[in-house]
Structure 1
């Protein structure tokens, strides 16, 4: 008997560990519910719900192949070695198979599991699956992890030219086992199920993920570069939640993009090239997680920025969290997050810069809040994005480059369509006024909408002064637009 331990790889197709394990003989799958660990990692209730809904779909797909799915509970990852050892003993399991996960806690968990199982005579096999390249295999000439995306991408391009990551086949049906699948729970204590409206935005299942990918690759990818920055347009793939849960693989995404672009990733369709670059940004941030473990420990990638004098401003933080800043593009974006579990990528940068620069509040507050609400929350991407915006990270925005929420709003939501959708109280303003109701005049501004909580010009100066005063400041290079 062999065991596949499913984690963030909730799919049948192109699943490396599942394909490898199924070659060995009779196979059983297990998924572990680890509520205290999820809480410690700030996993959002809507994300936990999304995992469970996808797991229900996967259980049916596995059942059709006679692969039972067992559900076990371990409050934290510390208990996982004992839980898996016991299960392997009960079933007479010879080998356990997993797809690699990244982050310091994930690595420690897997090392502890491997040690416990090997003591029982059970072999532990892990596979590269959620990345194109093994961390540690894309390095600078001096043998270190890249810190600048453009250089990392160049090496990735060279590697992709010589060998594209191949898709792996789904397992075939096996002989029926005398083991029944467990029912997948519909909820987990401590994680409030989201609204039906939110669930409807994110249907579960591999078929839905593949449908989204096909629709995007067929109809939208060519416009991706031109439309992805406009939050009122459907310019993005809407695949991030499925990628984060492993309902679709980055290899499937890469192959779909290449198919629309005659196999090219450096020339041809600019939309496809731009989207493939986003897949490589995702790769880059996971490599950073492995190469620089401090980012898994809530530390700044650039050590000198640990000295930034962040403000302790609970009222400003609460206004940002609750979409009450008085700056429409910020509040509309935050309402989108609270309502849908997702935020448009351009707006993630805008609201992050507003929190860390205009409000001068520690990026860790924003990172945590995002993780607690995002259906696509992913440590590497979320941390990478927040540290990029706050000028504390790898290849980050230079500290003096601060997005103005007003100019971003006027540029990317010119007619205020996105703002008015999320802030109907501003529906009566014209397309010039809607970006800055404070300028409309009147003693109290616009009824039902707060005045701006900060002066953008003065707060920008405050941020520049805070960064200039760092003991050994480096001007950060590069930019992730």
Structure 2
């Protein structure tokens, strides 16, 4: 019986549960839907769409080696997906569709509608756990609810990993050649500008490139991860997030690479490996939150009482933050890194988020949206979780009174000013003491071509504390 593998955020042939199951069930063809209207609804970045298309082109080539033709269909939004997929199924005598589960309320509704529509036409629907270690709903508190605190969630995950470590799925063997030609993969999509060749070069496409990056990190850097991950001028992070978001790598592959570097241990041994595995579990935690608390997919605060925070409407300050001209060098350097590379160092994501939501008291949703529109690794769960953590509105959030000071963060994590000099070259002539706060030099000595801070850090901190302290902790209606 003919099978259809519908690719989404799982653009790989290795360790792909749905692809493996489809090909073991019968002759298989593959499908990808180009949905520009949906991508715009989700604020997907142009560089991210380009990254998907480049990886899709690589995927088509590797599928060809398995004699699996990739069909590409266009439908503006997911509302048209049931009809488009059903038409493909009828054209090619498909008896079953195979997918890997995705999370988020729009994704869940899409799959429900597609499965129901296909079911009316006696076409089977098979969905699989693939981008997580554990099925959402299987890691719960003793009272049967989803965890709201990461450390408690992690403890249960460790217990499960000790007894049932998820293994990667084998790569399918090539099938008998099909009498069907693969469709060309578009190089660009209207509404999404192709990024610079310099940005593309930072993020080479394909499983081979992703595997090489993972192997290099596991061999050369993971041991030092705990000590170097917070320093943006150092190559201390894996920079695998874009590949995980697109599914060019699986979390299982990452976990097993880390275990191989730590003699099979995930909660003892090398601190760098343990810390990195914890980051994989943070990613898992936020996706479970999407399922357990669907309001976070609807632009709602996890902590509902924080919906009453009196966020400021300050478009000029928001624009200064977005464009990297706040007068705070570490903030400006981080925002310029994001705009030029499609990526920002994780420590700096927290620093700039706290600055926007606490010092400027601007709604976290403005920052969340801006990040999604620029991140090559944009992921609803991770991005929303990070923003809500930083703004003290989310699960396991930073206490509202913990507000990063961008100057002290800069002094601590970019002590020589190397990161700032790279991204804010107008400050390159300052020494390592003055570069973190040029305004302290006074009007005569501060660089003339760099703005003064748009906000007083001490006064804005007090303003944020007052705004959060006045919340009555009573939940607003869901």
Instruction: Name the TM tier (shorter chain).
Output: over 0.9
Structure-1 residue corresponding to 2:150: 149
Structure-2 residue corresponding to 1:370: 371
- Distance in 2 between the 1:396 and 1:76 partners? 33
Structure-2 residue corresponding to 1:334: 335
- Distance in 2 between the 1:280 and 1:165 partners? 13
**Which deviates more, 130-139 or 169-178?**
169-178
Structure-2 residue corresponding to 1:11: 12
User: Would the aligned equivalents of 1:305 and 1:470 in 2 still touch at CA under 8 Å?
Assistant: yes
Which 4+ residue blocks in structure 1 deviate beyond 6 angstroms?
Answer: none
Question: 1:473/1:461 Cα in 2 relative to 1: closer, same or farther (>3 Å)?
Answer: farther
Structure-1 residue corresponding to 2:54: 53
Query: 1:102-181 to 2 correspondence within 5 Å?
Result: 102-181=103-182
Instruction: Say which SS state the counterpart of residue 435 (structure 2) adopts.
Output: helix
- Distance in 2 between the 1:215 and 1:428 partners? 34
Instruction: Say which SS state the counterpart of residue 221 (structure 2) adopts.
Output: helix
Instruction: Say which SS state the counterpart of residue 393 (structure 2) adopts.
Output: coil
Structure-2 residue corresponding to 1:478: none
Instruction: Say which SS state the counterpart of residue 400 (structure 1) adopts.
Output: coil
Measure how far apart 1:15 and its partner are: 0.3
Instruction: Say which SS state the counterpart of residue 366 (structure 2) adopts.
Output: helix
Query: 1:382-393 to 2 correspondence within 5 Å?
Result: 382-393=383-394
- Distance in 1 between the 2:363 and 2:17 partners? 39
Structure-2 residue corresponding to 1:235: 236
Unpaired runs of 5+ residues, structure 2, are none
Structure-1 residue corresponding to 2:190: 189
- Distance in 1 between the 2:444 and 2:413 partners? 29
- Distance in 2 between the 1:171 and 1:154 partners? 34
User: Would the aligned equivalents of 1:139 and 1:145 in 2 still touch at CA under 8 Å?
Assistant: yes
Query: 1:34-433 to 2 correspondence within 5 Å?
Result: 34-433=35-434
- Distance in 2 between the 1:189 and 1:180 partners? 25
Structure-2 residue corresponding to 1:466: 467
- Distance in 1 between the 2:59 and 2:210 partners? 12
CA offsets per residue over residues 1-20 of structure 1, 9 Å max, x none?
10000000000100000000
User: Would the aligned equivalents of 1:467 and 1:473 in 2 still touch at CA under 8 Å?
Assistant: no
Structure-2 residue corresponding to 1:479: none
- Distance in 2 between the 1:130 and 1:244 partners? 9
TM score, norm. by length of structure 1: 0.98
- Distance in 1 between the 2:267 and 2:131 partners? 22
Measure how far apart 1:204 and its partner are: 0.2
- Distance in 2 between the 1:448 and 1:98 partners? 53
- Distance in 2 between the 1:375 and 1:135 partners? 26
1:437 corresponds to 2:438: yes
- Distance in 1 between the 2:58 and 2:449 partners? 44
Unpaired runs of 5+ residues, structure 1, are 475-481
Structure-2 residue corresponding to 1:29: 30
Instruction: Say which SS state the counterpart of residue 23 (structure 1) adopts.
Output: helix
- Distance in 2 between the 1:347 and 1:50 partners? 23
- Distance in 2 between the 1:410 and 1:370 partners? 25
- Distance in 2 between the 1:329 and 1:96 partners? 48
- Distance in 2 between the 1:91 and 1:388 partners? 47
- Distance in 2 between the 1:442 and 1:315 partners? 23
- Distance in 1 between the 2:349 and 2:382 partners? 11
CA offsets per residue over residues 34-90 of structure 1, 9 Å max, x none?
000000000000000000000010100001111000000110000000000111011
Measure how far apart 1:445 and its partner are: 3.0
Measure how far apart 1:443 and its partner are: 4.6
Instruction: Say which SS state the counterpart of residue 71 (structure 1) adopts.
Output: strand
